[in-house]
């Protein structure tokens, strides 16, 4: 099959945009040309000639020679306007904007179908890991049982620095910002919103599930306390922010984003710095593990490059699982073992939400409870105690599946240290 030539209109020339420009110039065999780059700030100094730039989006959108629009801006609303207009004009799209795609997924899907143009977004999820195309092409929805992983390199960098170098959360966040690993609005990363958008995209290609962002529970790392870190270090754990989705026996799907204690020997334990890691669980091939850099200019640009290469062969997502007409409903009725810490000394009110308390600590100014809780009760607890920190141990579909040791354990209370 012969490869088609791509004439690109690029929106955005920040960290990833410049990374893509550099990568394309080092990949001459791809048969691509960036004809024009649209940016919004005419005063900003840029490392390439001013003749490459325009400040008018129509210079790209109305140019019949441009057959591909690469969208790399950080304004989701403006991005959707650009992308939808470009698709209506018959231009293929490559985007790294997980917020824009997640918030407008149904509309973008309909635009692809109506105008027959591809929208590729490998760079919107896990950067250098080709996970979306693997989920789309390799796994049948009846074979894939679950996936779990670190999908946000920024928070993984922050957490890695707190464990490896003993940095405070604030210092690690500042270092991540200096290195360009954090979104313009860092709350998107640290509160788990960015990971939620990526989880939404993974659900589409893993299970054929279209959900809205507000249907996915996310809880970030911004409330992790010194008590949480102390507990993790004393037990040899690390804390990772994990996105997780799994099929239940009744053919429903459950999903969430939460910080999680990861033990030595677990596949995600060694995934540090800006790396992402994703574990898939399958009926016949057991587990598979994907790992790669999840933040930074060149890892993200490499995913954009991969999508551009696919477009030269007229590749588009077929949404195979979505078209199997076997939609799996969301299920929030599952149980999990969690560690909940609070600045309050009392654990009495919090304990009323648990099905079983497995351990607790009461200090003079802070406390924690470890136990089994229903997911819906966890959400209620957050409504009543919005400032607590939550860290996952594991999902427990049925309390009876707990070990005998857990079932018979009596709550224990550690003395004030």
pLDDT confidence tier of residue 223, bands split at 50, 70 and 90: very high
pLDDT digit string, tens, across residues 34-59 = 999 999 998 888 999 999 999 999 99
- ∠ CA 152-269-368, rounded to 5°: 85
pLDDT above 90 for 102: yes
CA–CA separation, 219 and 196 (whole Å):
9
Q: Please give the pLDDT value at position 386.
A: 87
Determine the average pLDDT of the residues in 194-198: 97
Q: Please give the pLDDT value at position 1.
A: 61
pLDDT confidence tier of residue 411, bands split at 50, 70 and 90: very low
User: Which of 71-75, 98-102, 111-115, 327-331 is predicted least confidently?
Assistant: 327-331
Q: Please give the pLDDT value at position 405.
A: 42
Contacts of 288 (CB under 8 A, 6+ apart): 279, 280, 282
CA–CA separation, 131 and 150 (whole Å):
12
Catalytic entry in 35, 91, 196, 198? 198
Q: Please give the pLDDT value at position 408.
A: 42
Cβ-defined contacts of 1-5 (< 8 Å, 24+): 1/313, 3/31, 3/312, 3/313, 4/31, 4/311, 4/312, 4/313, 4/314, 5/31, 5/32, 5/33, 5/312
Q: Please give the pLDDT value at position 15.
A: 85
* pLDDT cut 90: percent of the chain above it: 71
Q: Please give the pLDDT value at position 141.
A: 66
The DSSP string of 228-297 is: HHHHHHHTT-EEEEEEEEEE-TTS-EEEEEEEEEE-TTSGGGG--TTEEEEEEEETTTEEEEEEEE-SSH
pLDDT digit string, tens, across residues 113-134 = 999 999 999 999 998 899 999 9
Residue 243's DSSP bridge partners are 149, 257
pLDDT confidence tier of residue 30, bands split at 50, 70 and 90: confident
CA–CA separation, 128 and 99 (whole Å):
18
pLDDT above 60 for 415: no
Residue 218's DSSP bridge partners are 257
DSSP letter assigned to residue 28: G
pLDDT above 70 for 401: no
More confident residue, 347 or 120: 120
Domains 6-124 and 131-292 fall in the same CATH topology: no
CATH of 335-414, picked from 3.30.70.1060, 3.30.70.240, 3.30.720.120, 3.40.605.10, is 3.30.70.240
Residue 233: active-site member: no
Q: Please give the pLDDT value at position 284.
A: 78
More confident residue, 15 or 285: 15
- Residue 329's CB is within 10 A of a number of other CB atoms, namely 10
Determine the average pLDDT of the residues in 8-18: 94
For the chain, the average pLDDT equals: 90
pLDDT above 60 for 409: no
- Can you name the CATH fold of 131-292? Dihydrodipicolinate Reductase; domain 2 (3.30.360)
- Residue 343's CB is within 10 A of a number of other CB atoms, namely 14
pLDDT confidence tier of residue 62, bands split at 50, 70 and 90: very high
Determine the average pLDDT of the residues in 323-345: 87
CATH of 6-124, picked from 3.40.50.300, 2.40.50.100, 3.40.50.720, 3.30.390.50, is 3.40.50.720
Q: Please give the pLDDT value at position 404.
A: 42
- Residue 103's CB is within 10 A of a number of other CB atoms, namely 20
CA–CA separation, 190 and 288 (whole Å):
27
- Residue 379's CB is within 10 A of a number of other CB atoms, namely 15
CA–CA separation, 167 and 246 (whole Å):
34
Determine the average pLDDT of the residues in 359-364: 90
Contacts of 97 (CB under 8 A, 6+ apart): 71, 72, 73, 74, 76, 79, 121, 124
Question: Scanning the structure block, which residue is given the tokens 């394309």?
Answer: 24
* pLDDT cut 70: percent of the chain above it: 94
| Domains of the chain, residue spans | 6-124, 131-292, 335-414
Determine the average pLDDT of the residues in 323-335: 85
* Side-chain-side CA neighbours of residue 95 (13 Å): 28
Q: Please give the pLDDT value at position 295.
A: 81
DSSP letter assigned to residue 128: T
Q: Please give the pLDDT value at position 364.
A: 85
pLDDT above 90 for 192: yes
pLDDT confidence tier of residue 286, bands split at 50, 70 and 90: confident
CA distances from 38 to 62, 73, 185, 335, 399 (A): 13, 10, 22, 49, 55
pLDDT confidence tier of residue 25, bands split at 50, 70 and 90: confident
Q: Tell me whether residue 330 is exposed, middle or buried, using C-beta atoms within 10 angstroms of its C-beta: 0 to 12, 13 to 18, 19 or more.
A: middle
- Tokens found for residue 377: 């009760």
Is the CB of residue 299 less than 8 Å from the CB of residue 293?
A: yes
Q: Please give the pLDDT value at position 417.
A: 35
More confident residue, 286 or 275: 275
């Amino acid at each position: 099959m012969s490869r088609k030539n791509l004439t690109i209109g690029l929106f955005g020339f920040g960290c990833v945009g410049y990374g893509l420009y550099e990568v394309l110039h080092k990949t001459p065999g791809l048969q691509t040309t960036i004809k024009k780059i649209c940016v919004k700030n005419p005063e900003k100094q840029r490392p390439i000639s001013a003749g490459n730039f325009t400040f008018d989006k129509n210079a790209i959108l109305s140019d019949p020679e441009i057959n591909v629009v690469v969208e790399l801006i950080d304004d989701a609303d403006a991005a959707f306007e650009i992308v939808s207009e470009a698709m209506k004009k018959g231009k293929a799209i490559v985007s790294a904007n997980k917020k824009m795609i997640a918030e407008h997924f149904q509309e973008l899907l309909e635009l692809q179908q109506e105008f027959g143009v591809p929208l590729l977004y490998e760079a919107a999820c896990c950067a250098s890991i080709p996970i979306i195309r693997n989920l789309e092409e390799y796994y049948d929805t009846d074979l894939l049982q679950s996936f779990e992983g670190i999908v946000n390199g920024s928070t993984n960098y922050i957490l890695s620095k707190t464990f490896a170098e003993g940095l405070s959360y604030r210092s690690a966040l500042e270092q991540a910002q200096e290195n360009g690993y954090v979104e313009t609005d860092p709350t998107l990363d640290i509160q788990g919103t960015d990971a939620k958008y990526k989880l939404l995209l993974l659900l589409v290609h893993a299970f054929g599930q279209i959900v809205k962002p507000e249907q996915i529970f996310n809880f970030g790392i911004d409330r992790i306390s010194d008590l949480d870190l102390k507990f993790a270090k004393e037990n040899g754990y690390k804390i990772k922010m994990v996105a997780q989705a799994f099929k239940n026996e009744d053919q429903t799907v459950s999903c969430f984003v939460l910080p999680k204690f990861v033990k030595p020997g677990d596949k995600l334990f060694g995934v540090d710095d800006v790396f992402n890691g994703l574990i898939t669980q399958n009926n016949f091939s057991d587990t598979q593990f994907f790992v790669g850099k999840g933040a930074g200019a060149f890892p993200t640009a490499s995913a954009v490059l991969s999508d551009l290469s696919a477009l030269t062969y007229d590749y588009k997502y077929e949404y195979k699982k979505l078209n199997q007409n076997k939609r799996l409903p969301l299920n929030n009725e599952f149980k999990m073992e969690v560690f909940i810490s609070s600045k309050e000394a009392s654990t009495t009110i919090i304990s009323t939400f648990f099905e079983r308390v497995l351990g607790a600590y009461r200090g003079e100014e802070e406390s924690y409870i470890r136990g089994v809780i229903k997911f819906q009760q966890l959400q209620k607890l957050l409504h009543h105690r919005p400032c607590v920190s939550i860290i996952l141990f594991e999902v427990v579909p049925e309390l009876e599946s707990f070990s005998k040791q857990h079932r018979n354990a009596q709550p224990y209370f550690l003395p004030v240290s």
